[in-house]
Every structure is written in structure tokens, then in C-alpha cells.
Amino acid sequence: MQNVDFENIRPFNDSEAGPASCDLAEKLDWKALLTPLIGEENAREIAEGMCSVDSIQDFQDELAFPFLEALIESTTDGVSLGFSDGISEADLENPTLHLTNHRDIVLDPSLVNVARMGSGFPSTEIGIGDNLLSKKWVEDLVRLNRCFIVKRGGGPRERWESSLLVASYIRHVVGEGNSVWLAQKEGRAKDGIDLTSPALIRMLISEGGKNAWESLNVMPVSISYEWDPCDAMKVKELIKVREKGKYVKADGEDEMSMALGLTGWKGRIHLEFCNIIPWKEIEGERTERVIASLVDDAIYGGYKIWPNQVLAAKHLGITDLIVCSDEVEVTSDDEVLFQKRLDEVVNQVGRDVGTREEVMRTWCEIMMQPLKAKCGLVNSHTF
């Protein structure tokens, strides 16, 4: 497939970067927009540099990376990195496809790229759904940040044709010696349960099977957030789905979620780079399900368990999870923070959505899912 076939989904190239960045600088007051996020001095430096961009790498190094570093400093208690046995930081030099669990629209790929760039390696290209690109300036901004567009709408045939194009594009990028980030499934894990979509794996192996999979050098990254700024929104959505069978997003809700994910407090964050996922076939089982399960096991094994997850299991009375997590130290300060956040979520969800008990139970169920998944992996003797 020729490069021209990717024209409608690819990121900007170097020749387009300067004009696109300067055009964005003129359309919006970036100093005013960024100051609440990263402080006036950082915001001013980034805004003033937008018309000095000469390439995509320039945009990444001079604008995107400093912004993300400042944002992480102001909204987290720090980000730690780990590598599963058998790999090291040096393995990031190889072109690869990173599949990650998906909790935050903007931060998930950004954290992976900050880790890569901070270690001296280039950022990945990023797959992003076109449902998030409601405004032209948003599309221009993400294309400057090395995002390619995944078209979500249309009928089954259109969606399948789009997925084939995306799979071809990903193979093209990795084949050219670059890396890619994709979420393990479409949409964030609202209920806290991280499951790789077999349809995603089927897409990736649609042309070439084993050879296509092995050429992608798939290295999952397990992302563990201590706190989720969007947790109250997710609780509200889950309860409404239970009550009415569906949830209809309000206008601008995706944008609100993106902004809250960026600006809200996330506490500690851990990224665990996992081993390359091999091709595996099991007689009588669909290969995409077998491989999806391998990705899940890698992500579960890489979870960092936080005290609030243990306290959520305790609140729900799930004693076997509490025993499984006995290596996690829970202090009285952790208990105070847990109860404080639980009360805040109840207030934010409001009285018109579920009872207080239902809201608390739903929040705790979301919170303790990583602990449940990791303990299940340990108990199954596969980790």
C-alpha cells in the first residue's frame, strides 16, 4: 500500500509542522489556556515558541515535552518506571507497538511518550479516534503531536475497511523504524476492568497472521494511576447504564473529560514496560482471543497496587483480595484520603443518580479492579 493511501489519517509531516503550529498560535490564546495548567512562565514560553517550529521533532522537543513535564509535576506525586524481567530501557530503541490499558484519553499515550523521550528515545505515533476531534484546531494539534486518525463511524463494512487501513498504516510506521501507541480497546475502561479487544488483535493480524504480529514487536505497557480525576463521571455513567440500559453523552462531555483528566490530581503513577508478546495458537480457540489474553496477563502482571485499592476491597468486604495484597502498606493517612475522596465522589455524582450506597459501592468496585485482576493472575499461577 502506497503512502498516498494514508493521506487522510496520517500525522503532519515536517514541512507542514511550522505553518500548522503558527496557525494554531494565531487562532487561540495559548498563554491564557495553558497558565492554569502549568503556570504563567511555562505557558508563556510555550506560546511564544509556537511560531518557531521547524519540524515535528521541534514541536515535540520544544513544546509538547516541556508542557507534559510541567503538567506531570503539577498534577501528580511523580511517575515511576519499571521493566519486566527480560527487558530493559535499551529495548525501547527498537521499533515497537505499545498496547496499554486505557483510563485517560490524553494522559495514557502522553505518559508513555514522556517516559520514552525522557530516556532519550523518540515518541510514538498515537492512534486517536475521530470522535474526539470535534474542532479543526484539535485535529491540527493532535496531528502535530504525531497522532494518526482512527475513523469510528459508519456501518460494519466501513468500519472494517477503516480498520484494515489503520492496520496497514501501523505496519508501515513500524516497518519504517518508528513506534506506535494504541489503547488495548476502543474507549476507556469505565468500570476499571482492562480487557484487550480481540477485534483489535484481529485487525493487527488481518494481513499476514503470525508474520504480521511478530513484525510489530508488541510491547504492552501497564499504567497504574493512584487516583482517577474522572472517577465521578465514570460512576455516574455506570449507574445510569444500569438504570436505563444506555448512557447518552452530553455535548462537550468528551472535551470536559479530556480537560479534567489533564488538570485533575492523579497522585502517584507507575508505568511497567512488559515483555514482547509472542504469537501463540491453541487448537480449537480463535487466535485473536489467545493473544488478547496474553496481552491482558502482561498488563495485569505489571500493575502497581495502591493502598486505596486495598481499602476499596476492604469497604466491599472482599477479604481474599485483602489477604492477597498484604505486601501493600496501608497507613492511617491513606485511610483518611480514601474516605475523603469517597465523600467527594458521592457529592459530585449528586442525589439524582443512584443512592449514596450505590455510588460508594460502584466507586469501590472500579477502584479495586486492578487488585482483583493481579491477584487473580497470581492465584492462577500464570504470574
Q: List, for residues 331-378, the tens digit of each pLDDT value.
A: 999 999 999 999 999 999 988 888 999 999 999 999 999 999 999 865
Segment 47-52 mean pLDDT: 95
Segment 5-20 mean pLDDT: 94
The verdict on residue 164 lying in a domain is: no
Confidence check: pLDDT of 1 > 80: no
The verdict on residue 135 lying in a domain is: no
The verdict on residue 80 lying in a domain is: no
* 176-213 per-position pLDDT tens digit: 999 999 999 988 888 999 999 999 999 999 888 999 99
The verdict on residue 271 lying in a domain is: no
Q: CA distances (Å), 248 to each of 42, 244, 251, 359, in order? A: 37, 10, 9, 19
C-alpha cell at 168: 496497514
Stated pTM of the model: 0.92
Confidence check: pLDDT of 222 > 90: yes
Per the CB < 8 A criterion, the answer to whether 125 and 11 are in contact is yes
Q: CA distances (Å), 203 to each of 4, 160, 180, 213, 214, in order? A: 21, 8, 15, 10, 14
Query: Which of the given ranges, 127-131, 220-224, 232-236, has the highest pLDDT on average?
Result: 220-224
The verdict on residue 316 lying in a domain is: yes
Segment 30-56 mean pLDDT: 93
The verdict on residue 28 lying in a domain is: no
Q: CA distances (Å), 283 to each of 86, 203, 286, 291, in order? A: 28, 21, 8, 13
**199-203: long-range contacts at Cβ-Cβ below 8 A with a sequence spacing of 24 or more?**
199/163, 199/288, 200/99, 200/292, 201/287, 201/288, 201/289, 201/291, 201/292, 201/295, 202/288, 203/163, 203/164, 203/166, 203/167
- Four-point Cα dihedral 370, 374, 375, 379, nearest 10: 150
Chain mean pLDDT for the chain:
91
C-alpha cell at 370: 486492578
* 254-304 per-position pLDDT tens digit: 778 888 888 899 999 999 999 999 999 999 999 999 999 999 999 999 999
Write the single-letter amino acid at 328.
V
pLDDT of the residue at 261: 87
pLDDT of the residue at 377: 64
Confidence check: pLDDT of 380 > 70: no
Total number of domains in the chain: 1
Which string of b and e fits 302-318 if b means at least 16 CB within 10 Å? bbbbbbbbbbbbbbbeb
Neighbours of 168 (CB within 10 A): 16
Beta-bridge partner residues of 225: 269
CA atoms in the 13 A half-sphere facing the CB of 33: 11
Confidence check: pLDDT of 381 > 70: no
Cα four-point dihedral sign 147, 148, 154, 159? negative
Cα four-point dihedral sign 84, 180, 171, 164? positive
Per the CB < 8 A criterion, the answer to whether 231 and 239 are in contact is no
Host domain of residue 242: 232-249+306-383
Confidence of residue 383 (pLDDT cuts 50, 70, 90): very low
Q: Please list, in sequence order, all residues whose beta carbon lies within 8 angstroms of the beta carbon of residue 184, skipping any fewer than 6 positions away.
A: 99, 100, 101, 102, 194, 195, 196, 197, 200, 220, 295, 296, 299
* 294-334 per-position pLDDT tens digit: 999 999 999 999 999 999 999 999 988 877 887 899 999 99
Top pLDDT among 82 and 133 is at 82
Confidence check: pLDDT of 216 > 80: yes
pLDDT of the residue at 3: 45
The C-alpha cell 480463535 sits at: 286
The verdict on residue 333 lying in a domain is: yes
Cα 116 to Cα 113: distance, rounded to the nearest angstrom? 5
For residue 150, the SS3 value is: strand
The verdict on residue 238 lying in a domain is: yes
pLDDT of the residue at 112: 96
Cα 291 to Cα 281: distance, rounded to the nearest angstrom? 8
Beta-bridge partner residues of 81: 271
Helix axes 107-118, 65-75, angle to 10 degrees: 110
Give the end-to-end CA distance of the chain in Å, rounded to a whole number: 40
Q: Please list, in sequence order, all residues whose beta carbon lies within 8 angstroms of the beta carbon of residue 145, skipping any fewer than 6 positions away.
A: 11, 59, 60, 64, 126
Confidence check: pLDDT of 382 > 50: no
pLDDT of the residue at 378: 55
Segment 83-100 mean pLDDT: 95
